[in-house]
């Protein structure tokens, strides 16, 4: 690793540390103890309200995935790899992508169940943003970087425009691998959603003074679908290597 790379890594780590610091500061000031979850001021007493929110997150997830793909293509195809903008963005994304989705999921659950005791689309979106965007950008970037340089050069040498090369060459060659990445991401989100339902279910049972708590069936359904999506993502991977 050369000196400037080190610098960019340090800057990225400092940014991450700042985010964590802000979070701890804020978490330390907790003054909870009522033990319930509300939605727009109304106490949630069944999980179905939570499911409503999760369904509402589906379109948001799709938008975030598309956004990540766009960012990855922008970084790889438009931005010069030597520019400081590229290097700093690339490092920050790399670091956020290394953090397991479980961490983001637990932070989010902590915030909703313990700290604010209120579920909102904003909180969920922030969590899903961190779970989906960095990983998707990173895997897509890596897939694009693996595209054979010689074919790209040959197309450009014939005077092809950038959009043409991307549409005719980069996308067809990366599509299966990008799909793999997307399916893995979906699987991750589903697994976190299952965890989230379990935590909320437990909280709701407790605040209603019902003392027996069962893992909600839907959590199991979500986990199974997560598994399914992981398996599907492997199928694409195989197809690519043929």
Six-digit token pair at 66? Answer: 């598309």
Spell out the residues 6+ positions from residue 23 whose beta carbon is closer than 8 angstroms to its own: 107
* Phi, psi dihedral angles at 43 (to 5 degrees): -70, 130
Burial of 81 (0-12, 13-18, 19+ CB in 10 A): exposed
Residues 147-176 that bind another protein (CB under 8 A): 149-161, 164, 169, 172
- Closest approach of Cβ 79 to another protein, in Å? 12
What's the CA dihedral at 70, 95, 107, 47 to 10 degrees? 40
Six-digit token pair at 39? Answer: 């939605």
Q: Which of 207, 189, 199, 148 is nearest to 172 (CA)?
A: 148
Nearer to another protein, 164 or 239 (CB): 164
- Contact map string, positions 93 to 132, toward another protein, x by CB under 8 A: ----------------------------------------
Residues 43-82 that bind another protein (CB under 8 A): 81-82
Check: CB of residue 200 under 8 Å from CB of residue 208. Answer: no
Nearer to another protein, 40 or 159 (CB): 159
239 makes contact with another protein (CB under 8 A)? no
146 makes contact with another protein (CB under 8 A)? no
Size of the site for another protein (CB under 8 A): 18
Nearer to another protein, 80 or 209 (CB): 80
Six-digit token pair at 157? Answer: 């040498």
- Contact map string, positions 172 to 201, toward another protein, x by CB under 8 A: x-----------------------------
User: Which positions lie near another protein, rule CB under 8 A?
Assistant: 81-82, 149-161, 164, 169, 172
């Amino acid at each position: 690793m050369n000196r400037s790379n080190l610098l960019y890594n340090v800057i990225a780590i400092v940014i991450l540390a700042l985010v964590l610091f802000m979070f701890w500061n804020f978490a330390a000031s907790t003054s909870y103890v009522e033990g319930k979850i509300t939605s727009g001021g109304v106490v949630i007493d069944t999980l179905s309200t939570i499911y409503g929110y999760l369904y509402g997150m589906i379109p948001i997830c799709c938008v975030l995935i598309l956004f990540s793909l766009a960012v990855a293509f922008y970084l790889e195809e438009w931005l010069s790899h030597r520019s400081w903008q590229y290097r700093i963005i690339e490092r920050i994304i790399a670091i956020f992508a290394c953090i397991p989705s479980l961490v983001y999921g637990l932070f989010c659950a902590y915030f909703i169940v313990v700290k604010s005791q209120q579920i909102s689309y904003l909180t969920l979106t922030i969590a899903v943003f961190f779970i989906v965007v960095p990983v998707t950008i990173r895997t897509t970037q890596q897939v694009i970087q693996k595209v054979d340089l010689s074919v790209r050069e040959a197309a450009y040498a014939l005077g092809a425009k950038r959009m043409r090369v991307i549409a005719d060459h980069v996308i067809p060659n990366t599509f299966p691998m990008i799909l793999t990445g997307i399916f893995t991401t979906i699987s991750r989100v589903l697994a976190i959603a299952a965890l989230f339902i379990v935590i909320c279910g437990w909280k709701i049972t407790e605040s209603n003074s019902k003392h027996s708590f069962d893992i909600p069936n839907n959590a199991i359904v979500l986990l199974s679908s997560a598994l399914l999506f992981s398996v599907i993502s492997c199928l694409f991977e195989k197809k690519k290597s043929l």
